[in-house]
A and B are shown apart, each in its own frame.
Chain A
Amino acid sequence: MAWQVAVVVLVSIVVTIVAKTTAANLGARGIASGYDYLTRAAGFEISQGLLSYSSRDTYGRAVLVGLANTIRLSLLGIVGATALGVLVGIAQVSPLWIARTAGRVYVEAARNTPLLLQLLFWYSLWRQLPGSDAALSPLPGVFLSARGLFLPRLIGHAGLPWFALDRPSLVGFDFRGGISISPEFGTLLVGLTLYTAAFIAEIVRGGIVSVDRGQTEAAAALGLSELRILRLVILPQALPAIVPPTISQFLNLAKNSSLAIAIGYPDLLSITNTTVNQTGQAIEAFALAAACYLAVSLAVSIAANASAGALRARLGRGALHVG
């Protein structure tokens, strides 16, 4: 009991001292307090994003735009990383030597270099692509240049039962129409996906390897093909070992999306930083950003746990019951 009181008193003393010093410093520098700044006009531009925004909009809307960008980046990254990671993880236990070795090389290269370095590497590669006038076009309507990746977009006409393609076309120095993926967003997506997929591949491989060899042998004795063994016997039993660390990797991806600030993509942290530079209210802005990231982490955790439960139920119904 005495210990608790001592700890609480000590922490309170430290917090009070820090709060007093901070208040004095804020007063001396003429920095305001509170969240009123969120209703003021921001005055800076945001170059790309999901939501519409102009410099006359408020700081609050700017933070929302940043949050939307972060969420979009994280969601697309999670989908891509899971797909690639599961593929590479399965390849690493395949009987094909070349698949195993290629997978190993990729996983070791991606896991042992810093993510920031990988992002900067892909970004510098992208910017060395030819300009708009000499853009690469691997498929009709798809253009890849140093300015971005341009894809055709499906547009449905109201009332008519068929779809048309909105193809990008070169107008002046830029491409108009279609879906455009900026170099910053593309680099972040590719970099985050490749990095996280390597970790997920290791987790999937570890999970598959942890299933007893006897399972594979028994299933083979029953005459099941390799693919069916994997799908019906191994994966359902490997899932409990795979899911929690994979969810942890999803959270890491959501947090790593903050490296967008180094590439120049306006995500939540980048906009928070600009806000702090303009208003000086570092404590409020960063506390808000931290709360947003915690909320995103919580949401990803809940959603991933729910999907894992659904997946386990679906796979469980079709699998062989053992033990």
Chain B
Amino acid sequence: MLVELFRRLRRAPMFRDWPNACATAVAGAILAWLGYRFINWAVVNAVWALPGEAGPVACRAIRGQGACWAVIHERFRFILFGTYPSGDQWRSALACGAFLSLYAATAARASWKPWLAGAWIAVTPAALLLLHGGVFGLRKVSTDLWGGLPLTFVLSTFGFSAGFPLGIILALGRRSKLPAVRVLCTAYIEIVRGVPFVTFLFMAAALFPLLVPEGFTVDKLVRAQVAFIIVIAAYLAEVVRAGLDAVPSGQLEAAASLGLGYWRATLLVLLPQALRIAVPAIVNTFIGFFKDTSLVAIVGLFDLLGAAQAVIVDPRWTAFGVEVYVFASAVYFTFCFAVSRYSRRLEQTLALADRR
């Protein structure tokens, strides 16, 4: 029986031939030693959950030898929902659920119909209403108490639903035959794409008070959201432009020969095909901007990363930043990895469907 096991092991990819077997053995030994030390730190010697003041004390006692997961156990609600009042956190969770259902619905090809666009436009205001309250007997919660995961979802989803139409217009404008329109769109796209995103967040934070009439105050969240929309539009414009360029020119010529004007040809013939080609790139852009929502932590908004940082600033938990960052990374990684796997599968499915 041992012989059988040995034979099956030998056929495994990591032991298939001598170089593989040696490399795996050496690397495996190193990884096993590192893994042993990591498991010791993360699981065996770790402090899992101690309520009240016992948590930080016990954690400090095993500092360096064991992980302090008690910080997650005590503060995960703060990391996920920020300073949102704990009695109303079900509304935050419900808003997150609404966004996740929207993404899940978008992923299913069966639902790629016009109502999906309506859903994207409708979900964010609905979630904002839910979070803000003041109607239907829900208690009003001001925006400076919002934070955590709902903020991340709101910034990325609304940024995309508003930035997508704007990006399409910019892409069409960049391809336009009218020089004024083309110059304006090209300048916008190139400037916005050439400057770091953080700069736009700071610009929005500093310039908004100067750009609006005296007496108006613009909410910090609104400033960040506008910065998002401006930047997402420019990046999506490039992605859509690549899709537009990939549609064979015969399509537009056929549309012209049928007597369709510019707008009808664009909306009915060009855009549907271009967007279909651009879908994997659009999904990848979404992943990129979902990660970039973490940058609002720099301008003082408490998204998932901002809330995580706030936990670390607390003197009781300052020494356990590594554990908190690992938890935040796990949340981001789960979402982004799932979406990127979906994107890869989507690319293959679309490529297969295109081969007629």
**Which residues of chain A have a CB within 8 Å of any CB of chain B?**
3-4, 7-8, 11, 18, 21-22, 24-26, 28, 95-99, 102, 108-109, 111-118, 120-121, 124-125, 128, 251, 255-259, 261-262, 269, 272-273, 276, 282-283, 286, 289-290, 293-294, 297-298
Contacts and interface: CB of A to CB of B under 8 A. Distances in A.
11 contacts: A99-B23, A112-B337, A113-B329, A113-B332, A118-B329, A128-B322, A261-B198, A262-B298, A276-B202, A283-B210, A286-B207
A251 B159 CA distance: 23
B13 interface: yes
B259 interface: no
A40 to B, nearest CB: 19
A124 B321 contact: yes
Contact of B336 (A96, A112, A121, A269): A112
Contacts of A108: 337
A24 B214 contact: yes
Interface stretch (B112-120, B175-183, B266-274): B175-183
Interface in B292-345: 292, 294-295, 297-298, 305, 309, 312, 319, 321-322, 325-326, 328-329, 332-333, 336-337, 340
A290 B337 contact: no
B14 A256 contact: no
A28 B214 CA distance: 9
Given A128-B322, A255-B197, A120 B309 contact: yes
B196 A256 contact: yes
A interface: dominant SS: helix
A57 B3 CA distance: 78
Contact of B199 (A26, A113, A124, A293): A293
B94 to A, nearest CB: 25
A196 B184 CA distance: 31
B246 interface: no
B39 interface: no
B309 A96 contact: no
B179 A282 contact: no
Q: Taking each of A7, A26, A97, which has the highest tally of chain B beta carbons within 10 Å of its own beta carbon?
A: A97
Contacts of B24: 96-98
B202 A286 contact: yes
Interface string B278-304: 000000000100011011011000000
Contact of A294 (B195, B305, B328): B195
Contacts of B195: 255, 289-290, 293-294
Interface in B79-104: none
Contacts of A272: 202
Contact of A124 (B23, B297, B322): B322
Contact of B206 (A4, A255, A286, A290): A286
A283 B198 contact: no
Contact of B196 (A95, A293, A298): A293
Nearest to A8: B180
Contacts of B178: 3-4, 7
A300 B337 CA distance: 30
B210 A25 contact: yes
Given A117-B325, A286-B203, A294 B194 contact: yes
B206 A116 contact: no
B27 interface: yes
